[in-house]
Structure 1
């Protein structure tokens, strides 16, 4: 039983840190132009899906599985002007406060580099863990913000157990009415070891875990949702989308109240989708996050003082 729990933690750790491939061969201007045009096309082609979907507000997702790569794309509309969104998400420190809303992210720190920033994620189980018991994943932060288009990437080329292309991408462009169309892409390339771990996990402890894609109907004409690794990465992608939304929604509160407000809002958003996203009672989640936030601030102060 202890071995099964250990294997499940390994798998959940990988899902929590998995992020998708971003092409870096073209120039920043070319990438910006191509990305903006493509994202605008996706918006126009999917207006109907944004207006009517199972989430109950402008949000939809697509996921794919091919060979060793699993990918999910989440698209939505934020009720904030593009410049407000871009100004917030152009700051690496804000990303640490965003991603740490995820139950598996126990802390995040940032360091400025000559060519960008480094973000370190401390990944663990959903319950509280001391940071020395977590796994560290170091990501390179890059941002393109020009001509009404934002493209943020977090790249970790390799990870544990042979995983690679562990990356995250966030895109945004302005819409009429002071709103912003956004895209979160999240995926990973696995390995033989990780495939074995996930197979064991979903045959045992994760058997009832599902995502959001409907694959059919049951005997009562109810929806049957995707399971397995695709379901897991869909859950994580939606959690990160809600983290961005919660961060933006609470910026108008006094700074001293924002952490409490965004953890409460994130929890309430995710528990609307109890079948997919419920893991912890609210009291436990909030208690763990208070301790983890204190650890994160302590780590960041040490980095600022040059004591790493």
Structure 2
């Protein structure tokens, strides 16, 4: 009986983690929603006050919504790096496989390019070390929709996910700002069926009941952090944002030192938000990621890319 309960809890935790990481991930615009660089610059002007002063202590703004069968998150942020640097980095699938594994739950990322398309596969697991064979793969079509001197748009699309999830759509839009900076929109949408919905409800009523996101809800004087699946998606959005920032901040580091520096920097940045992002201690994170890196390199070698 005890063993059965353990398996059930582990399965529920893995499922919800999966949904939060995959569903959300790192920025997406739903089909037909992209209006290009002019709309993004207008959004920047509308959000500038909130980017300058907010609960993150950084130029970040988050919005999230949840329907009966879907979740969406939109993240807007300013990177203090030239647009050309951001554009060249993010349109490379190899760069995404340096960025995404910084996330505590991404065990490996591999990519393969053919004449037809580029496919990115993310392996998501628990907070401790796991080989990719024990993690959950999500195959994403990697598409660069626009890459110009004044605008970048790309998407990662997975029609089918684990446990009945579907329509995983991650997207990124970016435009240059004055002062060698870049404004970026990162969004994610996904849908889920009955199985996933039941698992989510059970998880957040038990193991995940204390986990929260960043959005404050409730009336003045009685506000609390958002919880449930929206909270999970917000936490993971922040983790990916910090991974993007870490990658860009370390591009000038000597190549042989980048991986180690990125691990340390990402962990230290997440430590600024312990209520939402604290999972394991730094020594365990560093050890796990070094082992996972070796697994990823072996997987990538098999891809032939």
Superposed, 1:140-289 pairs within 5 Å as 140-143=141-144, 144-216=146-218, 221=221, 223-289=223-289
Q: Report what 1:136 is aligned to.
A: 137
1:119 equivalent in structure 2: 120
Give SS of 2:102's match.
coil
8 Å contact kept, 1:73–1:184: yes
- 2:67 is matched with 66
Residue pair 1:122, 1:137 contacting (<8 A) in 2 also? yes
CA gap 1:22/1:115 in 2 versus in 1, 3 angstroms: farther
Counterpart contact for 2:78–2:181, Cα < 8 Å: yes
In structure 1, the residue matched to 2:16 is: 11
Q: How big is the shift at 1:7?
A: 1.1
TM-score, with structure 1 as normaliser: 0.92
TM-score normalised by L of structure 2: 0.93
CA contact (8 A) 1:158 1:165 kept: yes
Cα deviation 1:143-163 (Å, max 9, x = unaligned): 121251111211101112221
**Deviation digits for residues 43-91 of structure 1 (CA, Å, limit 9, x no counterpart):** 0101100111011121110111123111111111101010011011111
CA contact (8 A) 1:186 1:233 kept: no
Give ranges in structure 1 of 5+ residues lacking alignment.
none
- Find the aligned partners of 1:179 and 1:22 in 2 and give their Cα distance: 22
- Measured in 2, the distance between the counterparts of 1:40 and 1:22 equals 15
In the alignment, the residues of structure 2 paired with residue 101 and residue 222 of structure 1 have an alpha-carbon distance, to the nearest angstrom, of 35
Moved more, 162-171 or 268-277: 162-171
Name stretches of at least 5 consecutive residues in structure 2 with no aligned partner. Answer: none
SS in 2 for 1:100: helix
Structure-to-structure mapping, 1:14-33, within 5 angstroms: 14-19=19-24, 22=29
Across the aligned residues of Structure 1 and Structure 2, the Cα RMSD in angstroms comes to: 1.8
Q: 1 or 2 for the larger relative contact order (CA 8 Å, sep ≥6)?
A: 2
In terms of mean alpha carbon deviation, does 45-54 or 146-155 score higher? Answer: 146-155
